[in-house]
Structure 1
Amino acid sequence: MKKFFLLSTLFITFWGANAYGQQWGPGVTSPEIHEDNSVTFWLLAPDADSVFVIGDFLPTVKVSSPMGEVDGPGKVPLQQDEYGRWSYRTDPLSAELYSYAFVVNGLTIIDPANSFVNRDIATLSSIFVISEGEADLYTINDVPHGTVSRQWYESPGLNIDRRMTVYTPPGYESSGRKYPVLYLLHGAGGDEEAWMSLGRTAQIMDNLLAQGKIKPMIVVMPNGNVIQDAAPGEGNKGFYKPQFMVPKTMDGTYEMNFMDIVRFVENNYRVFTDKANRAVAGLSMGGFHALHLSRYYPNTFDYVGLFSAAILNGNDANGKVYADIDGTLTAQMENGYKLYWMGIGKTDFLYKVNQDFRRKLDGIGMEYVYVETEGGHIWRNWRVYLSQFVPLLFQ
């Protein structure tokens, strides 16, 4: 009887490991990072006819999107061996956080051997890090760590309770001191999770603090989609497919009600409440919001960061918030500020409108810091922009 029980147990264990093997990885290690920082991707798929890997470690290609033609990840084929394993080895890669996925017989999937995944709007990607260099800011190191919380707040202007993500620096809970605040805004299709998961904000802040390169500060990451109370799956609408662009994101509603967020933060956290201790920055749509928040509330933010900002002209941006842009920019300049920072990639589809906006600022004599990088409208740039922008704050 004991022998039968043992054999039954072994059978069940073997069957379970095969039926649910993707939970632990299907007999391969992927990605495999080599000493020279080249990477081999492996997929066990003996019945597949074709397997490709797509990722931001490959040269970009132009793809169509709701924003027009943008940079997309490149794609290369994997080769199959006699055991049904598919593989592809890259050239040595520079230090960075990378995203990738497999395309198997035309179907895009995450790497079943890699349990580390992020979500960008409705797309899931597997991730890995090549360490040393810039990517060391994106990893968890043996340094003091801040606290990340998901905070619900009341927005009287929108008549809804909404969620934001808040990073407080190491020691906040016991220090008793006050801190400055950076309001960090996401792009179209994002939400209050984007800067944490894709932007690696907590890791960047912890590591820069440990290096003594930035002042301790609170980082507030609100949801910029005013029809949502929280990220998809985290709010009262339950589970649904995230959209790239939801209604009312760039019609002035967000900017008109943004002070609900500021008031909540200043009533519930130990923060300074003057202009010199507030910053606002954002990527793409969030850069659009940061631009207009800073000029619509000219006595609120001394530091402004536009990361690949989605700058629209007067014909596309209507409403009270967007009225008299030239005049309000001039008023913002005359009112005074400490930093106006712009960053854009050379192949970003928003490159031209950012150059047009620079000419507008030059025309009125408004000073700004401009950073131009390689690449397009991608998180690899926005993480770099954040790591370059925050050391300049509250000095």
Structure 2
Amino acid sequence: MRHAVRVPDWARQIISDHTDMHRAPHPVSAAKVARFVLELPDDVRFEYAFVDEGGRVRADPDHGPTGSNPWYPEVTEVRGPDYAPHALADPPRAQPTWTMRRWRFDAAGATSARRVSVLSPPGIDDPLSVVVLHDGVAYQRLARTADVLTALIDEGRARPAHLVFSEPSARLTEYAWDQHHHVFVRDVLRPRVEDEFDVDGTWVAMGASLGGLAAATLALADPDDWSVVVAQAGAFLGTPDDKRHHGVERSWLLEQLRTGADLGAQRWVLDVGTLDWLLDVNRRVRDALCERGVPLTYSERSAGHNWGCWRDGLANVLAAALPV
């Protein structure tokens, strides 16, 4: 598809899924190039915005703030003629509602208390699997994971589970090879869940972007404790000595996989957009897992690094992580 764009007089940069949003902004000037055309896949879900002289991110005034990105209040979203959101990207509200417990932990290494919400499906007394979701607030409120899982259960595509939504106190620090985070999950969070809920022994580590890296890091540190790893656009670039995650070639995770890191009996589920700057490293991680014979579910779609893409993929990754 072709999407025509007029450069506003006030615009100084454009950010988009092509520029990794703010990570590699492209300069623009209406005096030099007043209009251009974006060539995009027909099934695309694409986001872009302009940046003014003061550094404010602003939507395309000709098309409006049509996107819903929690990191950028104003973005313009383009949907190709063949794009169709997943049927459960906006699921029906679960009825009856799930039961919830809220916890706060004053954990070592945290800049403030860590907040955790645990949602359990209603009317089930049997032991259940446990899904630990990094960036818990976004997965709980924005992606509405409990509603998505309810619909999957009703359709016979997934089994029930306790959903543990864990919110970091300092995301960029805790999710990048942070020993305090590892100790918190292993020695504080997991024992608390096991004390208060009936669990069946299946634990799923899950996250998007840096949360995906955090999930993978937990699984490699304690391979026998985690049955499934789910990463949506896992931020697998970088190393403990170089935590930029962008514009670098090395991948600690890839190096670990290629040098025989113990994965126990894990299954992996990877999901990424073809316009995401992390596409290449996710494909390389996919290939490394396949070479080792690790059970893997892998999916791509024409989208970038954003919650719209991950909401479209959420139902399928949950169904893969919690098969009936």
Q: Give the TM-score normalised by structure 1.
A: 0.56
Q: What amino acid is aligned across from residue 305 of structure 1 in structure 2? A: V
Given the superposition, is the C-alpha separation of residues 341 and 168 from structure 1 closer, same or farther in structure 2, using an over 3 Å criterion? Answer: same
2:93 touches 2:147 (CA, 8 Å); kept in 1?
A: no
Aligned to 2:313: 385
How far apart in 2 are the matches of 1:273 and 1:371?
28
How far apart in 2 are the matches of 1:61 and 1:328?
32
How far apart in 1 are the matches of 2:210 and 2:231?
10
Aligned to 2:223: 298
Identity of aligned residues (%): 20
Q: What amino acid is aligned across from residue 198 of structure 2 in structure 1? A: V
How far apart in 2 are the matches of 1:107 and 1:166?
35
How far residue 178 of structure 1 moved from its aligned partner, in angstroms, is: 2.2
How far residue 316 of structure 1 moved from its aligned partner, in angstroms, is: 4.3
Aligned to 1:222: 166
Unaligned runs of 5+ in 1: 1-48, 53-58, 71-92, 110-116, 128-132, 187-191, 228-244
Given the superposition, is the C-alpha separation of residues 315 and 304 from structure 1 closer, same or farther in structure 2, using an over 3 Å criterion? Answer: closer
2:258 touches 2:288 (CA, 8 Å); kept in 1?
A: no
Aligned to 1:147: 98
Alignment partner of 1:179 is 2:136: no
2:68 touches 2:308 (CA, 8 Å); kept in 1?
A: no
Q: What amino acid is aligned across from residue 265 of structure 2 in structure 1? A: G
Task: Give the alignment partner of residue 203 of structure 1, picking from 147, 156, 164.
Answer: 147
Q: Which runs of 4+ in 1 moved over 6 A?
A: 98-103, 124-127
Deviations 1:73-96 (A, max 9, x none): xxxxxxxxxxxxxxxxxxxx99x9
How far apart in 1 are the matches of 2:236 and 2:130?
24
Task: Give the alignment partner of residue 311 of structure 1, picking from 236, 242, 245.
Answer: 236
1:150 touches 1:163 (CA, 8 Å); kept in 2?
A: no
Q: What amino acid is aligned across from residue 70 of structure 2 in structure 1? A: D
How far apart in 2 are the matches of 1:328 and 1:60?
33
Alignment partner of 1:162 is 2:124: no
How far apart in 2 are the matches of 1:100 and 1:327?
36
Aligned to 2:198: 271
How far residue 341 of structure 1 moved from its aligned partner, in angstroms, is: 1.4
Aligned to 1:348: 276
Unaligned runs of 5+ in 2: 1-7, 27-41, 60-66, 78-83, 244-251
2:17 touches 2:48 (CA, 8 Å); kept in 1?
A: no
Mapping for residues 83-98 of structure 1, pairs under 5 Å: none
Q: What amino acid is aligned across from residue 381 of structure 1 in structure 2? A: C
**Residue 156 of structure 2: SS of its match in structure 1?**
coil
How far apart in 2 are the matches of 1:386 and 1:258?
23
Deviations 1:136-187 (A, max 9, x none): 4244537624326461143554477421132221x2xx5433221111223x
How far residue 256 of structure 1 moved from its aligned partner, in angstroms, is: 3.4
How far residue 296 of structure 1 moved from its aligned partner, in angstroms, is: 0.7
2:274 touches 2:301 (CA, 8 Å); kept in 1?
A: yes
1:118 touches 1:197 (CA, 8 Å); kept in 2?
A: no
How far apart in 1 are the matches of 2:233 and 2:304?
9
How far apart in 2 are the matches of 1:62 and 1:296?
33
Alignment partner of 1:255 is 2:182: yes
2:177 touches 2:240 (CA, 8 Å); kept in 1?
A: no
Alignment partner of 1:65 is 2:22: yes
Alignment partner of 1:137 is 2:88: yes
Aligned to 1:189: none
Deviations 1:216-252 (A, max 9, x none): 111111013x44xxxxxxxxxxxxxxxxx64444142
Aligned to 1:376: 304
How far residue 349 of structure 1 moved from its aligned partner, in angstroms, is: 0.5
* Structure whose CA Rg is larger: 1
- Measured on the aligned residues, the alpha-carbon RMSD in Å equals 4.4
- Count matched residues: 278
How far residue 309 of structure 1 moved from its aligned partner, in angstroms, is: 0.5
Aligned to 1:331: 262
How far residue 211 of structure 1 moved from its aligned partner, in angstroms, is: 2.0
1:306 touches 1:342 (CA, 8 Å); kept in 2?
A: yes
How far apart in 2 are the matches of 1:373 and 1:285?
19
How far apart in 2 are the matches of 1:258 and 1:329?
24
How far apart in 2 are the matches of 1:348 and 1:99?
11
